[in-house]
A and B are shown apart, each in its own frame.
Chain A
Amino acid sequence: MSYDAGPGVIELADVTKVFRSGEVSVEALRGVSFAVEAKEFVAIMGPSGSGKTTLLGILGCLDRPTSGSYRLVGQEMSTLDETKRARIRGQRIGFVFQAYNLIPRTTAYKNVELPLVYAGVPGGERRGRVLQALASVGLAERVGHLPNQLSGGEQQRVGIARALVVEPSVILADEPTGNLDSASAEEVLSILGRLNEEGATIVMVTHSSEVAEHASRIVRFADGLVVADERTQRSIVAEPLGAVG
């Protein structure tokens, strides 16, 4: 599988996000700048309410920053309209959610196929890609299963297959192991680790430093700001990596 990305996949410059509901406004992000290079595996950590999910929403073009600039593979995202952002989501981004977010009453196959359908990939080409993606997360045998016929770990692996099937520039995972027992969590993390070794760029939010150890780099958040940015043991093993900005 190839991941189409130049060196600077994500570039954030002074990004803020303010939620306003009536009188009250919450500053979820207060000037975040950092970059993610291709083939990095970044863990984002921080206390609850520090803005991690908000950041991931912006990285995934689900939301727009209140101010600041976000460039994805060199293209400015903060000014795009919803239709253009939807296309970017479909082609450049793979989401993995804590709650799996598979479409109910729809087979694993159909769930994984969905991004290809929206991206307009011709039907003949889809089949091979879907089966390959499901095989790469070890679910070749579960193709026709419905979400409620799968364990949590299996559902999350379907979620990962759905994220990687479009060969995105970056996979964004928000506490992908949050709902899983330790064995399933380990399995999911090893899949993510393997994908990263195969060249996938991954940004993962987690509360657990154990989980974060699977990443090559940890960005720490507090109160809507980046407070630390460090490499892990794994990065030393998992060379080569470009300079970290």
Chain B
Amino acid sequence: MTTLLEHSRIALSSLRANWFRAALTALGVVIGVASLVAVTAVSAGAQKEVADSIRRLGGNIVNVDGEFITIGTRQSASDRTITPEDVAAISQLPTVTAVSPHQSIESITVAAGRNQANTWLEGVTSAYSDVQNQQAARGRLITDADVSFGRSVMVVGLDAQDRLFPGQSAIGKTVRVGSREFEVVGVQARRGSLADENLDNRIFIPLPILTRVMLGGSNIVHVDLRVESEGDIEPTIGAIEDLLREQHKLPESYPDDFSAEDQATIVKEAQRATSTFRVLTFSLGGIALLVGGIGIMNMMLVSVHERFREIGIRKSVGATPWKVQMQFLIEALFLSVLGGAAGVLAGLGATRLISTFAGWETLVSGLSLVLAFSVSFAVGIFFGYYPARRAARLDPIAALRYE
């Protein structure tokens, strides 16, 4: 133990003698560890966001999409394949507790006075609020009466409201969509975003107005439905597939002209795109660490070379190969661990910047810091081993003769 302390002192003093070189050498480890910390925080934040989204959007939701009819090998984007009869049949399924048919126009410019905004227009029924966990911040949501009487009413998201009526409440005001005018009856409570989709930049109108009046026809693309429990999801998906194939009279050899999926799965899939970016940053952090490690190895090799004679002297006064190895290994460890500590701090700073400026949710866990720090430790051991071994194996006579 005395010698460990002793070696630490020796290592520190030799690093201090070359502090600038040491700092440059440790920079690679600093960058590597910092990016590991930041990426882990962003990653954990994103994961938390997924969990939050799923919770916010409501659990036990199945999304049915009917967008394409595929015949043979040809796939054509056809009009909506889900009929009102399909919706009625789905709501008859025993496991289904709520059905929300809806139809969207994903990008449309709407106007309020002189203000224009590009938003996402969604035609919904009263079930939408239940299935999608939608709430009113002010006013009310789309009701059964709105749907059956075909009222020209609208519920707007908070961001849509900001853009159409900056600084004002939208309630009671008029929004023009194409040639139609809608009266805003409610403002949707904040829902956040789902993957990259801002759920607060949406506007909602009764479904029949969108389908019959604006798009024509009564078929739709989306049906979201809630089931009793998580265990019902798979059987319900199976039942819907059978049901819709039968309803659509699809021959045995034809593929489905719809899809039915667990919403939680879809949310996770959506996050996968951003996780590619994270994997990339993570690998860059790894590469920085590798380069940092090689830098440490290089500096240690130079240091061993410069100190051939010193090593010879140490051996002549009783340093065993093991003790020489420890001395240089500890020196490498100091470098990488100091770099790792600085990297953890820099990583925390970077995480702060990311959440402030990019607005991403981040989550720093103690475990990730410990992990990043351990990585720097491992880098020190790994890349310090070879130079230390070289020092340990030096022939004392040759080392003492070295000029």
Contact = CB atoms under 8 A, between A and B. Distances in A.
Contacts of A86: 315, 318-321
B17 A119 contact: no
B2 A120 contact: yes
A62 interface: yes
A62 B397 contact: yes
A117 B3 contact: yes
Interface string B301-330: 000000001101111111111110000000
Nearest to A121: B2
A115 B397 contact: no
Contacts of A197: none
A39 to B, nearest CB: 23
Interface range for A: 20 to 34
Interface in B1-16: 2-3, 6, 13
A122 interface: yes
A115 B317 contact: yes
A240 interface: no
Interface in A59-103: 60, 62-63, 82-83, 86-87, 89-91, 95, 97, 101-103
A87 B320 contact: yes
A146 B321 CA distance: 26
Contacts of B312: 101
Given A101-B309, A101-B313, A104-B310, A115 B318 contact: yes
Nearest to B318: A90
B396 interface: yes
A57 interface: yes
A118 B400 contact: no
Contacts, number: 66
Contacts of B13: 105-106
Given A62-B396, A83-B320, A101-B309, A120 B3 contact: yes
Nearest to B310: A103
A162 interface: yes
A122 B319 CA distance: 16
Contacts of B317: 89-90, 95, 114-115, 118, 162
Contacts of B2: 117, 120, 122-123
Contacts of A63: 396-397
B327 to A, nearest CB: 11
Interface string B250-270: 000000000000000000000
Contacts of A91: 318
Interface centre among B314, B318, B323 (most CB of A within 10 A): B318
B359 to A, nearest CB: 51
A118 B397 contact: no
B148 to A, nearest CB: 91
Contacts of B316: 60, 62, 89, 95, 101
Contacts of A162: 317
A167 to B, nearest CB: 13
A118 B321 contact: no
A101 B396 CA distance: 13
A82 B321 contact: yes
A117 B321 CA distance: 15
Interface centre among B6, B315, B316 (most CB of A within 10 A): B316
Interface in B322-350: 322-323
A101 B315 CA distance: 12
Interface string A114-153: 1101111011000000000000000000000000000000
Nearest to A95: B316
Contacts of B17: 105
Nearest to B319: A118
A89 B315 contact: yes
B318 A119 contact: yes
A116 to B, nearest CB: 9
A114 B314 contact: yes
Contacts of B320: 82-83, 86-87, 118
A95 B319 CA distance: 14
Interface centre among B13, B309, B313, B315 (most CB of A within 10 A): B313
Nearest to B7: A117
A146 B310 CA distance: 15
A166 B317 CA distance: 9
Contacts of A60: 316
B3 A83 contact: no
B309 to A, nearest CB: 7
Given A91-B318, A95-B316, 5 more contacts: A82-B320, A83-B320, A117-B2, A120-B2, A162-B317
Ranked nearest first, the 10 interchain pairs of A and B with the lowest CB-CB distance are: A90-B318, A118-B318, A115-B317, A86-B320, A62-B396, A83-B320, A101-B313, A62-B397, A95-B316, A117-B6
25 contacts: A62-B400, A63-B397, A82-B320, A83-B321, A83-B322, A86-B315, A86-B321, A89-B316, A89-B317, A89-B318, A91-B318, A95-B317, A101-B316, A103-B310, A103-B313, A103-B314, A106-B13, A114-B317, A115-B317, A115-B318, A117-B6, A118-B3, A118-B314, A118-B320, A118-B323
